[in-house]
Structure 1
Amino acid sequence: MRNQQDYLNKASLYDLLAGYYKYSNPSMHIHYYQKHIKYMNLALQAQQREMNLSSQPAYVRVLHAVPDAPSVDIYINANRVLRDVAFKDISDYLTLPAGKYHIDIYPAGTGVNTLISKKVKIEPGKVYTLAAVGTSKKLQLLPYIDDPSVPNGETKIKFIHLSPDAPAVDIGVKGGDTVFPDISFKQATEYLNLTPMTVNLEARIAGTKNTVLDIPGVSLKANQPYTIVAVGFAEGEPGLETLLLKG
């Protein structure tokens, strides 16, 4: 969809053309002047849409995906919003006005040494999962965009690779076709629209048939988006597993 500036550029062009033909060709003058008015109106409508969008809140949830990190407390702009978030925990969505935020993550019950301190920009109308990823020696906070919209009667799913020591993987139907190919650590796929179903999936080392993790009985219900997240260590404890998140 074009933005306000695109329409203003068009309107300016047609205004120049209308002026050029004002005395030499009245019918062309009227033709281009009407186009000028049309695009000025479209620019005003685009401005209104942009103003409406900028006032929409954003929705943010937090996922603890660092397998060897302790439970944490999460602060936004120095206010504690979540406490005692353990590995594999996913919060409910928090409603936030669009803007820039400072997020600090501390070991639960402490407020001295941050595990992560990061500034994030939250866009209006967007839905985010903020994932703490990596290992206790190298933590990051990464944003992933969620999309709650689903065509009526359908379902959809995406995959995020958050196992810090696992190789790139293909996600496929067990013993069958690949659904999401070659996903590396920290990467997320696009959503895939599907008919509601229950399916057995598996993670395979990318480009091979070597299964590293079975993902059995994935139940995908109508009118619901899902995200499969790989967490844990491929080598070590806690071991590799998947989370099925709504959204």
Structure 2
Amino acid sequence: MKHLKLLFAAALITLTAVSCKKTTPYTPPPAISAISFYDAIPDAPALSIYLDNSKISPDSSKYKSVLPYATAYSGSRQIIAYKGNDKKFSQAVTLKQGLFYSAFLTGKYATPEVVLLEDSLTNPPTAKANIRFVNMSVGAPALDLGVNDGTTVVSNRLYKANSAYTAINGNKQYTFVIRTHGETVAKVTLPSVNISTGHNYTIWARGVYTATDATALGADIVLNY
């Protein structure tokens, strides 16, 4: 959590320094939030992501891309996606002071939308890590997140729904699987990964549930902190 606090601190120091010049009256620094972006639109071309007039992605964001947390002014903001110079879509979101968010660009390219999730980045219990599951697979029914030993970690997440962060044993190797809710056969098996104690992770299902090509149902794991 330390580097996330430093993210806010650096932004506030910069803003405070500007507002504390002797030639101008003191103005309290504006409220700050943090937001990350997930490109979950399977059939979209590379897009440039903006928050109001500020470009978030240094290069064009492609399907499956994850952009790390960036500081942003709190309040009402517009998330905008461009293909080249053409605005493809925009959506208003509200960011609350001091909170962290994940913005998922999802749906089909013809009818995209943004799903904004509030990230509760609390420290896990001793010797544990926190796992959150997000279902962003277009057309998917309820999905479960499990482990290849048959254990279920998160159950019954509908499309565009997320779970709370769930504590699991840390410093341990896991092979996570995605199953259709109530079934035992894995639809997706993720590569084996070591989950480190003291960290928060997001596992997100993506793609088109019924597809069999490059846009088929898949999943990735992201280290939140």
TM-score of Structure 1 vs Structure 2, range by shorter chain:
0.7 to 0.9
1:246 aligned residue = 223
Identical aligned residues as a percent: 23
User: 2-side partners of 1:203 and 1:92: how far apart?
Assistant: 24
Pair 1:81-2:64 in alignment = no
Query: Match of 1:174?
Result: 148
TM-score normalised by the chain length of structure 2: 0.78
After TM superposition, list the pairs within 5 Å mapping 1:206-225 onto structure 2: 206-225=181-200
Task: Work out which of the residue numbers 125, 131, 136 in structure 2 matches 1:157.
Answer: 131
1:94–1:205 Cα change, 3 Å: same
Q: For 1:95 and 1:68, how far apart are their aligned partners in 2? A: 29
Give the aligned partner of residue 26 of structure 2. Answer: none
Q: TM-score, normalised by structure 1?
A: 0.72
Task: Decide whether the 8 Å contact of 2:150 with 2:184 is kept in 1.
Answer: no
- Runs (5+) with no aligned partner, structure 2: 1-28
Give the match for residue 186 of structure 1: 160
CA, structure 1 residues 80+207, in 2 after alignment: closer, same or farther (shift >3 Å)? same
Change over 3 Å in CA distance of 1:211–1:101 after alignment to 2: same
What is the Cα deviation at residue 192 of structure 1? 0.4
Distance 1:236 1:106, change over 3 A: farther
Q: 1:104 aligns with which of 74, 80, 88?
A: 80
Distance 2:193 2:184 in 1: 20
Of Structure 1 and Structure 2, the greater strand share is in 2
User: CA–CA distance in 2 between the matches of 1:81 and 1:195?
Assistant: 34
Structure 1 gaps of 5+ residues are 1-53
1:225 Cα deviation after fit: 0.3
In structure 2, distance between residues paired with 1:61 and 1:237 = 27
Higher relative contact order (CA 8 A, sep 6+): 2
CA contact (8 A) 1:74 1:81 kept: yes
- Spell out, residue by residue over 1:191-241, the C-alpha distance to the aligned partner (whole angstroms, 9 max, x if none): 101221211222121112132111241321011100001112232332222
Equivalent residue number for residue 31 of structure 1: none
Residues 194, 138 of structure 1: alpha-carbon distance in 2 compared, 3 angstrom cutoff: same
Judging by fraction of residues, say which structure has more helix: 1
Highest Rg: 1 or 2? Answer: 1
- Measured against aligned partners, the alpha-carbon deviations of 1:41-83 in whole angstroms (never above 9, x if no partner) come to xxxxxxxxxxxxx965211111111111011111222232323
Letter of the structure 2 residue corresponding to residue 171 of structure 1 = L
What RMSD in Å do the two structures reach over aligned CA positions?
1.8
Q: How many residues align?
A: 191
Task: Please say if residues 154 and 193 of structure 1, whose CA atoms lie closer than 8 Å, have aligned partners that are also in contact.
Answer: yes
2:48–2:61 Cα contact (<8 Å) kept: yes
Residues 74 and 216 of structure 1: CA distance in aligned 2, closer, same or farther (over 3 Å): closer
